[in-house]
Chains A and B, each alone.
Chain A
Amino acid sequence: MKHTVLALCSALALMTPTLGAAKDRYVHANNSAYDTLDPHTVRDVARVASRLNFYDGLYRWVDNPPQLIPWLATEHSVSEDGLTWTFTLRDDVTFHDGTKMTAEDVVYSFERMLELKRGAGSLFLPMIDPGQTVAVDDTTVAFTLKEPSAIFAALVPDILVVNSTLVKENEVDGDMGQAYMIDHVAGSGSYMLQRYDPARGFIGERFADHFAGWGEKYFDEIEFRTVLETNTRIQGLMRGDYQGLDGYLAPDQVERLRADEDVQIIEEESMRVFHIAMHNGRAPLDDKNFRMAMVHAFDYDGYINEIMQGTVARNPTIMPGNLWGAPDVPGYDYDLAKAKEYLDAYKAEHGDEVRTIKIGTLAGFSETEQAAALMQNGLSQLGITVEIESSPWPVISSAMQNPDTMPDMVPYWKSTYYVDPNNWVGELYASRYAPTRNVSSYHNDAVDEKLEKALVITDQDARAELYSDATTQIYEDAAGIWIYNTKWFGPYASSVKNVRFCPVGNGQDMRWAYLEE
């Protein structure tokens, strides 16, 4: 009923624009498709907008450096043994359909994440078993972990709560509403789903009854549209068709936008490491000498100073240089003579034949294509043939999560999902995260031991040392090609104000922003 009334009101508002004030609308052109709206099956920056704007987590990351603020939960306590985490929930939260949120919704959502084993669920699975989350009462929920965890608190914002009544009603053959949630929203977030088309993106309408309330100014409607063509996104922003773009533009494009007075580029310190993931589990990349040849065959200076025009800083390992726990090691250099020595050592052991190496790049992300071209060029001088194949992010990201379909190399970014070394070195190189996050099939017992230990102790100095040692070992194993750590360059229309940038979410949390001519 409420929906009908709302729909009628909005229809009336559309028909009689002179009676009401014009709606403030934000259109974001995204470089990747929104192939699903399910908040529990994906966890990447390309599809973060639907999670942030349609759903709420127990806590929320805001600002830069990122801070955790209470959100659906007001506070939490941890038992002395560090195992039981008890959260107190707000009692005034309603979902978009008017249903009140209770602890049961949190339990259902969390169990759903563990059951689906995708998205953030795969991060929680190693630390908590299904059935260990209980609703103590309507506003209290308790999680009992398998072992103490140093990162559980940092992951709490990822516990996005769904309307369990609505999802259960739409379950088909015990699928926990997976089919339904692809194109429906069952959340309490700042915006309600108005239209969704996997080929075009989604439109959200402001949820006026959101528990956190609204400031004086806001966007009434937000649209996240898929626009794969870089030039179309840029021209569209300059023409005023879009009010914001993703922060993945190459410096060439950023410079073009800077010259336009209707466009602002918001520059923020960030932690996003660009690297080339290598399949350590497949020959010839399973050989250290071969990998050492690879890390010396990439023109780091050329890439950073020419293609990136010096806007980023060289990052020698997978850990962002500005994060605690990052080891102080020199980055590998571009040295084809050295690369050839390693390659000769490899050939002495395995024979002269080296098969074609396949690099998968992200369509619409030209930096990945240019990095692949540079790698191809370096390797061709070593007599190694490289094939480059470009695919859309949703396609390549699923291929990466299976060791059989993971290309030999994939250049991409590891962004900030929570500010802890585990976000980078842990997720990408610890065995516990293979193959969904540790896409490199890298396994090293000594490294695993350190990374596991760092997850269960809370002393930051001790953790920093463990992460530094583990990262150094991974660096010495040449498990990947680590290139740079970047700032975030967020292109928005000059009229968009108060974009509250947080490295977690990349400035796509739209509830704070508004329009001011």
Chain B
Amino acid sequence: MTALKRLLADRAASIGAALILGLILVAIFAPVLAPYPGDVTAFHLTERLQPPSADHLFGTDRMGSDVFSRILFGARITITIAVIAVGVSVGIGVPIGLIAGYYGGFPGGFLMRTSDIFLAVPQIVLAIAIAQTLGPSVENVILALSLTYWPFWARLVYAETRSLKAQTFVEAALALGASDLRVMVLHILPNTASAIIVRTSIGMGATILTAAALGFLGLGAPPPTPEWGRTISEAREFLPEAWWYAAAPGLAIFLVVMGFNLLGDGLRDILDPKLRKGSR
């Protein structure tokens, strides 16, 4: 309860939380909120490239579909990609970091060197290579992002585990006869949770940005999926005249990424006393 109170007291963090809450609500209620839910697939060629108006809040695209409605539905794809990709990355990265940090030695070195190989190549480049090889689809974008993003969590948890392992409460647990698994899961993992949560929140924003970049390059969801990155890519040849066509999905990406970053920063301040603003 105190954590939530502190979060609400932090203006930036609460703005971030509000933006993300907004994204989730929009994704869930897109069919209700969208003025033209059919425009995800339907075209109205006679209404191509109309500027924003009361009928079309964000104007229409090159096929005459309502940009606003498509942006709302695009939120579903964005949130799906971000949640699954980050979820899988956490699922792979955290156990690897935990095991590597706890055991050290050869298994730890091997796991961490493997993650170093992934970290050595810029994430976007690796993701492009994977998505291009597998073919454009939402599933492949998720796969590409998951495969390239887990080392960030592995590194983080590894470092935390290394320092936690030397703590007396771990030694005490071991002296009491607790198994390695029990120590890792019940004693070390909960102590790394705050770092994982902060990293995950910021990672969501980065993942959304990378997913949009893949979409922009034509490697994301195939048309007519209203994916934000793809929409910007389609819109760019109509710039600057049809500015709304690219600006609307751009604004959506901006707000969502900012939301996750603000929330991440706020959570870090609240959950990690060492990094609290006042103590810097």
Interface residues of A (CB under 8 A from B): 229-231, 234, 250, 252-253, 256, 299, 302-303, 305-307, 363, 366, 369-370, 372-374, 376-377, 380, 387-390
- Residue pair A389, B222 in contact (C-beta under 8 Å): yes
- Residue pair A389, B135 in contact (C-beta under 8 Å): yes
- Residue pair B223, A373 in contact (C-beta under 8 Å): yes
- Residue pair A376, B224 in contact (C-beta under 8 Å): yes
Asked if B8 lies at the interface with its beta carbon under 8 angstroms from chain A, I say no
- Residue pair A377, B222 in contact (C-beta under 8 Å): no
**Cβ of B72 to closest chain A Cβ, rounded Å:** 20
Task: Tell me the residues in window 184-239 of chain B with beta carbons closer than 8 Å to chain A beta carbons.
Answer: 218, 222-224, 234, 236-239
- Residue pair A363, B218 in contact (C-beta under 8 Å): yes
Number of B interface residues in the complex (CB < 8 A): 22
- Residue pair A252, B223 in contact (C-beta under 8 Å): no
Asked if B45 lies at the interface with its beta carbon under 8 angstroms from chain A, I say yes
**Cβ of A237 to closest chain B Cβ, rounded Å:** 14
Partner of B222, one of A229, A234, A388: A388
**Given A373-B63, A374-B43, A377-B42, is A231 in contact with B239 using a C-beta cutoff of 8 Å?**
yes
**Cβ of B241 to closest chain A Cβ, rounded Å:** 7
- Residue pair B222, A387 in contact (C-beta under 8 Å): yes
A252 CA / B61 CA spacing, docked (Å): 13
**Given A373-B63, A376-B224, is A302 in contact with B45 using a C-beta cutoff of 8 Å?**
yes
Binary contact readout B109-146 vs A (1 if CB under 8 angstroms, 0 otherwise): 00000000000000000000000000110000000000
Partner of B41, one of A253, A380, A390: A380
Asked if B168 lies at the interface with its beta carbon under 8 angstroms from chain A, I say no
**Cβ of A373 to closest chain B Cβ, rounded Å:** 6
Partner of B237, one of A230, A305, A380, A388: A230
- Residue pair A388, B48 in contact (C-beta under 8 Å): no
Asked if B62 lies at the interface with its beta carbon under 8 angstroms from chain A, I say yes
A390 CA / B218 CA spacing, docked (Å): 8
Q: Which residue of B lies closest to A370 (CB)?
A: B62
For residue B236, which residues in chain A have a CB less than 8 angstroms away from its CB? Answer: 229-231
5 smallest beta-carbon distances between A and B, as pairs? A306-B45, A302-B45, A230-B237, A231-B237, A388-B223
A-B contact pairs, 14 of them (CB 8 A): A231-B239, A252-B49, A253-B237, A302-B43, A306-B64, A366-B62, A366-B237, A369-B223, A370-B63, A376-B223, A377-B42, A377-B63, A377-B224, A390-B218
Asked if B53 lies at the interface with its beta carbon under 8 angstroms from chain A, I say no
For residue A234, which residues in chain B have a CB less than 8 angstroms away from its CB? Answer: 237
Q: Which residue of A lies closest to B238 (CB)?
A: A252
Partner of A306, one of B48, B135, B224, B239: B48
Q: Which residue of B lies closest to A302 (CB)?
A: B45
A70 CA / B39 CA spacing, docked (Å): 57
Q: Which residue of B lies closest to A299 (CB)?
A: B45
Beyond A234-B237, A252-B62, A302-B45, 9 additional contacts (C-beta under 8 Å) are: A250-B237, A252-B49, A252-B237, A307-B62, A363-B218, A374-B43, A377-B41, A377-B43, A389-B222
- Residue pair A256, B241 in contact (C-beta under 8 Å): yes
Asked if B179 lies at the interface with its beta carbon under 8 angstroms from chain A, I say no
For residue B239, which residues in chain A have a CB less than 8 angstroms away from its CB? Answer: 231
**Cβ of B63 to closest chain A Cβ, rounded Å:** 6
Asked if B279 lies at the interface with its beta carbon under 8 angstroms from chain A, I say no
A250 CA / B237 CA spacing, docked (Å): 10
A442 CA / B42 CA spacing, docked (Å): 32
A372 CA / B224 CA spacing, docked (Å): 10
Q: Which residue of B lies closest to A307 (CB)?
A: B45
Asked if B46 lies at the interface with its beta carbon under 8 angstroms from chain A, I say yes
Binary contact readout B41-69 vs A (1 if CB under 8 angstroms, 0 otherwise): 11101101100000000000011100000
A129 CA / B48 CA spacing, docked (Å): 54
Q: Which residue of B lies closest to A306 (CB)?
A: B45
